[in-house]
């Protein structure tokens, strides 16, 4: 018999224990400073060098927090390495902490892209974000592409940009095929995450929601867990029955 496929749909709540500031929570970046939303809106970003300068400064500040994977990220890696199940992660996060915890990047689909890499908006060249942050530290406010001089941005999906169709299709395929889906640290209110939970449940997967606050899918979930993610997820995964 094939191994069970355990899917994780993860959102900001899995990374708050790692010190990543959330955006829309009570202490969120945008709640405190609504103007910040412009820093990650494609049209503003492309049109205004000052917005780009501030956007890079925001990336630099988050990077200086040196976020590290926490117990929840590590528990997923432990499950993947145990061989008990095939593991796939679909994440709304752009922080790369699943991979930093040691999960094979091929098992992670990043719905909103990643801050670990930058991409040129003219020629498509990609490179590590750390290289650009080093240029900013050396005095460049808005470093251009070294290949063509074009505008660089993080490889994240900004407001006004479309999600990657290949990533979306991959996420839907995982939702349809999984045996169990853990929705972790996501309020399941935003497309496409919300649709993926419904897709998994409709296809017969067991749906387990681990989130501090209620979600619109709590009623159809097989289990709802409100305890802190860093404590709850390792325990849930340890108790997962072997195939």
Residues that bind Zn ion (CB under 5 A): 120, 122-123, 125, 145, 147-148, 150
147 or 202, CB closer to Zn ion?
147
Is the separation of the CB atoms in 185 and 15 below 8 Å? yes
CB 148, min distance to Zn ion, A: 3
Q: Is 147 helix (H, G, I), strand (E, B) or coil?
A: coil
Please confirm whether the linkage preceding 144 is cis (ω < 30° from 0): no
| DSSP-assigned beta bridge partners for residue 87 | 6
| DSSP-assigned beta bridge partners for residue 86 | 5
52 or 73, CB closer to Zn ion?
52
Distance CA 211, CA 231 (A): 12
CB 118, min distance to Zn ion, A: 10
The catalytic position among 52, 73, 88, 112 is 112
CB 69, min distance to Zn ion, A: 32
Is the separation of the CB atoms in 112 and 94 below 8 Å? yes
147 or 227, CB closer to Zn ion?
147
- Taking Cα atoms as reference points, which of 185, 190, 191, 188 lies closest to residue 218? 188
Distance CA 129, CA 84 (A): 35
User: In the block, which residue shows the tokens 């994780």?
Assistant: 8
Cα dihedral sign for 180, 240, 108, 90? Answer: positive
CB 150, min distance to Zn ion, A: 4
* DSSP β-ladder status, 5-10 and 180-184: parallel
CB 121, min distance to Zn ion, A: 8
148 or 220, CB closer to Zn ion?
148
Query: Which structure tokens are listed for 176?
Result: 């349809």
112 classed as catalytic: yes
User: In the block, which residue shows the tokens 């997967």?
Assistant: 205
72 or 119, CB closer to Zn ion?
119
Positions marked catalytic: 112
């Amino acid at each position: 018999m094939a191994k069970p496929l355990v899917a994780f749909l993860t959102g900001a709540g899995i990374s708050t224990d790692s010190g990543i500031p959330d955006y829309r929570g009570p202490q969120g970046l945008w709640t405190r400073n609504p103007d910040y939303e412009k820093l990650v809106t494609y049209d503003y970003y492309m049109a205004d060098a000052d917005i780009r300068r501030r956007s890079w400064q925001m990336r630099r500040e988050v990077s200086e927090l040196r976020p590290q994977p926490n117990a929840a990220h590590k528990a997923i890696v432990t499950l993947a390495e145990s061989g008990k199940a095939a593991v796939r992660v679909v994440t709304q996060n752009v922080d790369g902490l699943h991979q930093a915890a040691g999960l094979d990047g091929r098992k992670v689909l990043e719905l909103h892209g990643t801050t670990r890499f930058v991409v040129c908006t003219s020629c498509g060249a990609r490179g590590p974000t750390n290289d650009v942050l080093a240029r900013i530290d050396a005095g460049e406010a808005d470093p251009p592409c070294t290949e063509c001089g074009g505008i660089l941005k993080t490889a994240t999906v900004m407001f006004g940009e479309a999600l990657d169709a290949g990533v979306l299709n991959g996420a839907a395929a995982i939702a349809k095929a999984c045996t169990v889906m853990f929705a972790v640290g996501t309020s399941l209110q935003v497309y496409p995450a919300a649709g993926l939970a419904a897709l998994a449940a409709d296809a017969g997967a067991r749906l387990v929601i681990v989130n501090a606050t209620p979600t619109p899918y709590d009623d159809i979930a097989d289990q709802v867990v409100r305890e802190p993610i860093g404590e709850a997820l390792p325990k849930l995964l340890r108790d997962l029955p072997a195939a």
